[in-house]
Amino acid sequence: GNSVTQMEGPVTLSEEAFLTINCTYTATGYPSLFWYVQYPGEGLQLLLKATKADDKGSNKGFEATYRKETTSFHLEKGSVQVSDSAVYFCALSDQSGGFKTIFGAGTRLFVKA
Amino acid sequence: GAGVSQSPSNKVTEKGKDVELRCDPISGHTALYWYRQSLGQGLEFLIYFQGNSAPDKSGLPSDRFSAERTGGSVSTLTIQRTQQEDSAVYLCASSLYRDIGETQYFGPGTRLLVL
């Protein structure tokens, strides 16, 4: 079945540091890939997505590239801010999975001033 | 416009009682999803509805869990004879339609505590 594996947290960084959160997936079809973010006290919201291989999703300075050859969708940001502190979820959806979205366990990011 | 709303925001109940959780999706969204988020865990899919099609109930953990969606809009998740392991945050999401690339819009969740 489909699955998503992302790096365990928490990840603690200083402001302006480079961020990478690894995400790899297993899917039988051709999935769409997502990063959702949950800020403290708020609901989940879409951060970015990519719907086919080699696509790059980007938003708010975050980027992730859909790598079919390595089945990965790593999240990166060149310079994090305190306001980026949140829980980040990698997710996939594909037709063979009945259109269900499968989420990773989430990675908590703390950014220190 | 209005986002996805859920009620109640918090619910404390005693073991063995039934609870109902409500979700109001974004107007015009045909797909509606329920998830469970346990402490420190990812999101566990429970059920989804798409228009008038039969719901996909494959994620419901037991027959104590059921959900309905009336008139293609509001949905209610019912947990009968609650157990302590049911304690979690229950999230509802909606999307314009069901497609693998569709963005889901989440509500704030209902935090359920079973004593």
Taking only the tens place, the pLDDT of each residue in A48-67 is: 999 999 999 999 999 999 99
How far apart CA B8 and CA B15 sit, in angstroms, is 18
How far apart CA B102 and CA A40 sit, in angstroms, is 24
> In a mutagenesis test of the B interface, which of A23, A28, A44 is the best target, namely the one with the most B β-carbons within 10 Å?
A44
Burial class for A46, CB neighbours closer than 10 Å (0-12, 13-18, 19+): middle
Tell whether the model's pLDDT for residue A90 goes beyond 80.
yes
How far apart CA A23 and CA A45 sit, in angstroms, is 18
Confidence label for A97 from pLDDT (cuts 50, 70 and 90): low
How far apart CA A34 and CA A89 sit, in angstroms, is 8
What is the reported pLDDT for B1?
Answer: 55
Tell whether the model's pLDDT for residue A11 goes beyond 90.
yes
Give the closest of A42, A95, A101 to B104, CB-based.
Answer: A101
Tell whether the model's pLDDT for residue A28 goes beyond 70.
yes
Residues 40-99 of A with CB under 8 A from B: 42-46, 49, 51, 89, 93-95, 98-99
Please list the rounded mean pLDDT of every run of 10 residues in chain B (115 residues): 90 97 94 89 88 88 94 92 96 86 91 96
Confidence label for A19 from pLDDT (cuts 50, 70 and 90): very high
